Homo-oligomer: A and B are copies of this chain.
Amino acid sequence: MPGRRRSNAETEQAVQERLGGFELQREQMAAVANIHRAAAAVRQHLENSALRPHDLTWTGFVVLWVLWIWGEAETWSVAEEAGISKGTLTGIARTLESRRLVARAPHPEDGRRVLLSLTPEGEELMERLFPVFNAEEAFVATPLSPEECLRLANGLRAIVAQLEEHGEERRRQLLDGRDLAPRRSGRRSRQ
Contact = CB atoms under 8 A, between A and B. Distances in A.
Contacts of A139: 162, 166, 170
A140 interface: yes
Copy total for this chain: 2
A61 to B, nearest CB: 11
Contacts of A138: 25, 28
Interface string A152-185: 1101111111111011001100110010110110
Given A161-B143, A171-B45, A30 B153 contact: yes
Size bracket of the A interface: 35 or more
A29 interface: yes
B6 A81 contact: yes
Nearest to A139: B170
A96 to B, nearest CB: 14
A166 to B, nearest CB: 8
A28 B155 contact: no
A37 interface: yes
B25 A160 contact: no
A160 B41 contact: yes
A158 B171 contact: no
